[in-house]
Amino acid sequence: MNVEHVGQAYASVADLYIRLFGTSQQVHVDDLAFIGRHLSGRSGPVLDLGCGPGHITDHLRSLGVDAQGIDMVPEFIAHAKAAHPSGTYQLGSMEKLDVANHSVAGILAWYSLIHLPPQDLGSVLGEFRRAMAPAGRLVVGFFDGDEVDAFDHKVVTAYRWPVDEFSERLTRAGFTAVEHLRRPSDGTHRPHAAIAAIAADV
């Protein structure tokens, strides 16, 4: 993945993205419940990777989670800091997390893995596993599909994944899936999937 290209693509539409998706009220209620169910109650920091405008990070904080937002788009981080001044937001890349081994209690990757070519997914999940404490929780959201398939996302090329195949990739990286959520297309939104997984014993 050309990280710089993806970051520039999102920076170019940051204002529009924030208007369309920048509050937790614009997140499906089932998704907020799924995220909260698996990441609230964590003892330790939870990283929201690809946090965008910071709205889900802030939602997690409202649940008592020590959530920290990380994104590679400066415009998103600037907005998140202004909109949610009590939170912690910083520039960074999910490909190389600036945290110690096994130091985080949870990771949220909500549609932040969708631009990874399939051959790059394993290394990023491996980085997540390196950072994750024993029994830490990972929650991912992505586009559902019958096969791994690239398509022309409005911002930059993205990929659909079958839930079973994504779960298998998580298993290879040292996670065990514990719950799936799927939602078909409603004519406006593409088919959606989410997986919650636990870091397996080292």
pLDDT tens, 1-57? 566 777 777 777 677 777 877 678 888 999 999 999 999 999 999 999 999 999 999
Predicted local confidence at residue 38, as pLDDT: 98
Predicted local confidence at residue 2, as pLDDT: 64
What mean pLDDT value characterizes the chain? 91
Span 168-185, average pLDDT = 96
Predicted local confidence at residue 189, as pLDDT: 83
172 has a pLDDT exceeding 90:
yes
Query: How many angstroms separate the CA atoms of 194 and 201, rounded?
Result: 22
Comparison of pLDDT for 14 and 186, the residue scoring more: 186
Query: How many angstroms separate the CA atoms of 129 and 126, rounded?
Result: 5
Predicted local confidence at residue 8, as pLDDT: 78
Of 134, 137, 114, nearest to 124 by C-alpha is: 114
Predicted local confidence at residue 1, as pLDDT: 55
Query: How many angstroms separate the CA atoms of 136 and 178, rounded?
Result: 12
Predicted local confidence at residue 154, as pLDDT: 74
202 has a pLDDT exceeding 60:
no
90 has a pLDDT exceeding 60:
yes
88 has a pLDDT exceeding 80:
yes
183 has a pLDDT exceeding 60:
yes
Predicted local confidence at residue 40, as pLDDT: 96
Query: How many angstroms separate the CA atoms of 36 and 65, rounded?
Result: 9
- DSSP letter at 155 equals S
Extended beta strands in the chain, E state: 46-49, 67-71, 88-91, 104-110, 132-144, 149-151, 158-161, 175-183, 192-199
Instruction: Indicate the range of 39-48, 122-131, 185-194 predicted with least confidence.
Output: 185-194
Query: How many angstroms separate the CA atoms of 56 and 99, rounded?
Result: 21
95 has a pLDDT exceeding 70:
yes
- Is 101 strand, coil or helix? coil
